[in-house]
């Protein structure tokens, strides 16, 4: 059973015990109901306390049960809450640490609530594309007020228990305990004080009104529409459900809530968001690295290079309270890099996102040097130097000389061979790739590139460090471009073919942005710097002379149009602004190039643009999976959602392919292969993709 039952004097204590967050899976629900029945049958018991063991009261439903028979198997959460409400003996929720989702709904069903300070209280279902489904939309407005409840439900964000205790009107908590340590004893004392009371208070019996309901809910709908732009159905349904609480009797509101919840469960957006929730947790696990693997201690970090990447990488560690020493070859470069880093923090202070004392603390943790010997005591060193193998060789040979035994040597390379880099040293087991994404202090993704010799303890350590600096770490094997950049190359090739065949850069960008990408391929190229892709293509022309590319990107670079940093790229840019303006010069270059090729521009529809771009990602990803570069399809989805702007409500390229239908996708790929201006060889389905279609299976 996933709950413990004990009697303290005349109070029965039911302690949910389902680590790590006491999820309300079937066995936990069964144990609560059994404990209630046992307490009801014991004449010596006069009241009941429900609490949670360990780090949480309850984090809510067990998401692994969503869509399975266990999710609806009796007793489901509604039945558990019904049993609590109908108890003839008072039931007190003793809340601490975390009460979220179904955990909070369980507490709202209790007769009384005692809470420890510092607890995070939330109904986060909207983040999974759902609304609360066990009375949250009906009970919370009755106890904290309609506006406060709607804000919590639509945002899904946690609120501290002390803040909620200050709200006017009905009290969510009957008592705030002195501390988490004294919570249980205070809850038992409170339970004893209410023993024998009749009738027992029920939140469901409280009124639910708003003085200007129509205007308030209309305003709320307009606000949500403005923020979500119709991409997420759940927030609007949250508003509908809370509005029902003000218009309907409680049981009617509950029936409507359940209907909305059930309908949302099978929307593509909900399936995608639930997929991402599970994928994020799966990405943190490495199959052959046990959870108890001993980790190396990381107390200080060194960063080689004070450029944009080096400064951004350094900020992540400074933010986490870890001292950083930055090395550069010239004082001028060092001063410039530190000035940019300081400026980033000052901008946060100015916007009110960072307090002055925190800013000072972080800058105090930063030191600089021009001498490799000064790095010798660092536990982790990350190089962020020019992306050229000869430069990396010089750096790693020097690090091998000076770094202490056991130090982890990491490369921020985005494409180069981590195994080759590791063997520039005498300690390849200590070398790993840590590929941060620009801007490194903002982007969540961290590709952890595991070399052939990288030690398991190194992997365990860097995955733990990634969590500490609040990155979403995804493990990649070694190949050119790893997961993300290897796939984006195929996406970029398709973008080039599309403009040769008749599209404008803005047409391609508009189509993929309407699909949900944060930025189209041409705006992305201008932001990253078109010269970076140019350098990679020059290497490809030597290494893979048979690979086909559109020449338009090279012609663009030959014109000096390197992107935003040059004030011109695929688009024109006004000084100091990032607005992309269509360029007549680029349109003329593309038209002249088509003439050189003897091509006539054709009209290309939105669907073809999106499918060629997205399906190119999926087909390359299928090769990556087959080769073992990525451990699972959901890891690839995490890379693309957190690092490349793939729309989260579509769940990443692999989840989107599953929902589109792999058979349908392969049929489209066969059509693209017949296009004489495309790359027919590339559009042959990857063996894994072909096998999944033949077997009627999906990636996820």
CATH classification for the domain delimited by 3-265, as one of 3.40.50.12500, 3.40.50.620, 3.90.226.10, 3.40.50.360: 3.90.226.10
Q: Which residue has the higher pLDDT, 684 or 700?
A: 684
Instruction: For residues 413 and 563, give the distance between their C-alpha atoms in angstroms, rounded to a whole number.
Output: 22
- To the query of whether residue 332 is one of the catalytic residues in this protein, the response is no
484-695: CATH architecture: Orthogonal Bundle (1.10)
- Report angle CA 152, 32, 105 to the nearest 5 degrees: 10
Which of 65, 125, 328, 608 is labelled catalytic? Answer: 125
pLDDT of residue 132: 97
Whether 646 has a pLDDT exceeding 80, the answer reads yes
What b/e readout covers 520-540, taking b as 16+ CB neighbours within 10 angstroms?
bbbbbbbbbbbbbbbebbeee
**Residue 486: other Cβ atoms inside 10 A:** 19
Whether 314 has a pLDDT exceeding 80, the answer reads yes
Instruction: For residues 636 and 622, give the distance between their C-alpha atoms in angstroms, rounded to a whole number.
Output: 10
pLDDT band (50, 70, 90) for residue 67: low
**What's the token pair of residue 342?**
């300081």
CATH classification for the domain delimited by 301-476, as one of 3.50.30.30, 3.40.50.12280, 1.10.10.10, 3.40.50.720: 3.40.50.720
**What's the token pair of residue 137?**
């939309």
pLDDT of residue 177: 94
- Report angle CA 577, 579, 582 to the nearest 5 degrees: 130
Mean pLDDT of 599-623: 97
**What's the token pair of residue 385?**
């130097």
516 φψ region: left (φ > 0), alpha (ψ -120 to 50), beta (else): left
What mean pLDDT is reported for the chain? Answer: 94
Q: How many residues does the chain have?
A: 700
Spatial CA neighbour of 435 closest among 444, 426, 425? 444
Instruction: For residues 366 and 353, give the distance between their C-alpha atoms in angstroms, rounded to a whole number.
Output: 20
Whether 690 has a pLDDT exceeding 90, the answer reads yes
pLDDT of residue 66: 66
Most distant CA atoms of the chain, gap in Å: 94
**What's the token pair of residue 442?**
């903002």
- 30 burial (CB, 10 Å; 0-12 / 13-18 / 19+) is middle
Instruction: For residues 337 and 355, give the distance between their C-alpha atoms in angstroms, rounded to a whole number.
Output: 22
Q: Does the N-terminal peptide bond of residue 257 adopt cis geometry, omega within 30 degrees of 0? A: no
What 8-state DSSP symbol labels residue 58?
B
Q: Which residue has the higher pLDDT, 121 or 67?
A: 121
pLDDT of residue 438: 83
Which of 65, 74, 85, 105 is labelled catalytic? Answer: 105
pLDDT band (50, 70, 90) for residue 523: very high
Question: Taking the domains of the chain in order of start, what are their residue ranges?
Answer: 3-265, 301-476, 484-695
- 272 burial (CB, 10 Å; 0-12 / 13-18 / 19+) is buried
Model confidence over 401-448: pLDDT tens digits?
999 999 999 999 988 999 999 999 999 999 999 999 988 999 999 999
Instruction: For residues 307 and 340, give the distance between their C-alpha atoms in angstroms, rounded to a whole number.
Output: 9
* Chain position carrying tokens 């140019």: 534
pLDDT of residue 71: 75
Spatial CA neighbour of 690 closest among 674, 672, 673, 667? 667
Mean pLDDT of 527-551: 88
pLDDT of residue 357: 93
- To the query of whether residue 105 is one of the catalytic residues in this protein, the response is yes
Instruction: For residues 608 and 523, give the distance between their C-alpha atoms in angstroms, rounded to a whole number.
Output: 19
pLDDT of residue 169: 65
Instruction: For residues 687 and 604, give the distance between their C-alpha atoms in angstroms, rounded to a whole number.
Output: 29
Mean pLDDT of 22-35: 94
Helix, strand, coil percentages for the chain (3-state, nearest 5): 50, 10, 35
Q: For strands 581-582 and 571-572, give the pairing.
A: antiparallel
Model confidence over 135-165: pLDDT tens digits?
999 999 999 999 999 999 999 999 999 999 8
**What's the token pair of residue 492?**
């970029």
Whether 513 has a pLDDT exceeding 90, the answer reads yes
Instruction: For residues 583 and 508, give the distance between their C-alpha atoms in angstroms, rounded to a whole number.
Output: 14
């Amino acid at each position: 059973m996933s709950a413990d039952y004990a009697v303290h004097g005349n109070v029965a204590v039911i302690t949910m015990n389902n680590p790590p967050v006491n999820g309300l899976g079937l066995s936990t629900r069964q144990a609560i109901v059994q404990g209630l029945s046992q307490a009801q049958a014991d004449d010596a018991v006069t009241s009941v306390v429900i609490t949670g063991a360990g780090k949480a009261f309850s984090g809510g439903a067990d998401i692994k049960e969503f869509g399975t028979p266990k999710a609806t198997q009796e007793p489901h959460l509604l039945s558990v809450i019904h049993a609590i409400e109908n108890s003839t003996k008072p039931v007190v929720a003793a809340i601490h640490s975390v009460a979220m989702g179904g955990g909070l709904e369980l507490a709202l069903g209790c007769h009384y609530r005692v809470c420890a300070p510092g607890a995070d209280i939330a109904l986060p279902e909207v983040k999974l594309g759902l609304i609360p489904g066990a009375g949250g939309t009906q009970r919370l407005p009755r106890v904290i007020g309609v506006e406060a409840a709607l804000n919590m439900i639509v945002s899904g964000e946690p609120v501290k228990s002390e803040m909620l205790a200050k709200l006017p009107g009905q009290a969510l908590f009957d008592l705030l305990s002195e501390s988490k340590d004294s919570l249980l004893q205070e809850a038992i004392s409170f339970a004893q004080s209410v023993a024998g009371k009749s009738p027992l208070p029920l939140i469901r019996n409280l009124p639910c009104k708003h003085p200007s309901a129509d205007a308030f809910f209309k305003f709320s709908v307009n606000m949500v529409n403005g923020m979500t732009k119709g991409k997420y159905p759940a927030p609007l349904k949250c508003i509908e459900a809370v509005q029902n609480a003000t218009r309907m009797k409680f049981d009617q509101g509950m029936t409507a809530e359940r209907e909305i919840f059930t309908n949302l469960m099978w929307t593509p957006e909900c399936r995608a968001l639930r997929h991402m929730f599970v994928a994020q947790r799966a990405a943190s696990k490495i199959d052959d690295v046990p959870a108890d693997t001993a980790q190396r201690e990381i107390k200080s970090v060194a960063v080689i290079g004070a450029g944009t990447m080096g400064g951004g990488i350094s900020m992540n560690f400074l933010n986490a309270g870890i001292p950083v020493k930055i090395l550069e070859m010239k004082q001028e470069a060092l001063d410039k890099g530190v000035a940019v880093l300081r400026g980033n923090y000052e901008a946060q202070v100015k916007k009110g996102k960072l307090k002055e004392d925190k800013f000072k603390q972080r800058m105090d943790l930063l030191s600089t040097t021009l001498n490799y010997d000064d790095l010798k005591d660092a536990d982790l060193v990350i190089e962020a130097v020019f992306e050229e193998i000869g430069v990396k060789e010089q750096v790693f040979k020097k690090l091998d000389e000076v770094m202490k035994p056991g130090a982890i040597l990491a490369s921020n390379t985005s494409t180069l061979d981590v195994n080759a880099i590791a063997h520039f040293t005498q300690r390849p087991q200590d070398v790993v790739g840590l590929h941060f994404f620009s801007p490194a202090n903002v982007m969540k993704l961290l590709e952890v590139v595991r070399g052939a010799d990288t030690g398991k303890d190194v992997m365990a350590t860097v995955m733990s460090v990634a969590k500490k600096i609040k990155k979403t770490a995804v493990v990649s094997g070694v190949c050119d471009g790893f997961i993300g950049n290897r796939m984006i190359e195929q996406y970029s090739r398709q973008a080039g073919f599309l403009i040769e065949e008749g599209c404008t850069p803005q047409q391609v960008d508009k189509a993929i942005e309407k699909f949900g990408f944060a930025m189209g391929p041409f705006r992305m190229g201008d932001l990253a710097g078109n010269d970076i892709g140019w350098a990679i293509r020059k290497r490809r022309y030597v290494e893979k002379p048979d690979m086909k590319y559109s020449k338009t990107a090279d012609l663009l670079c030959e014109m000096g149009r390197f992107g935003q940093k040059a004030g011109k790229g695929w688009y024109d840019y006004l000084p100091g602004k990032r607005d992309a303006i269509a360029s007549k010069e680029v349109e003329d270059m593309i038209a002249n190039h088509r003439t050189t090729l003897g091509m006539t521009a054709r009209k290309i529809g939105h669907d073809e643009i999106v499918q060629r771009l997205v399906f190119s990602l999926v087909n390359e990803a299928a090769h990556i999976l087959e080769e073992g570069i990525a451990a699972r399809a959901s890891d690839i989805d995490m890379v693309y959602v957190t690092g490349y702007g793939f729309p989260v409500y579509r769940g990443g390229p692999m989840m989107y392919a599953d929902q589109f239908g792999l058979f349908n996708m392969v049929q489209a790929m066969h059509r693209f292969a017949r296009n004489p201006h495309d790359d027919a060889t590339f559009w042959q389905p990857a063996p894994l993709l072909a096998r999944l279609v033949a077997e009627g299976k999906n990636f996820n």
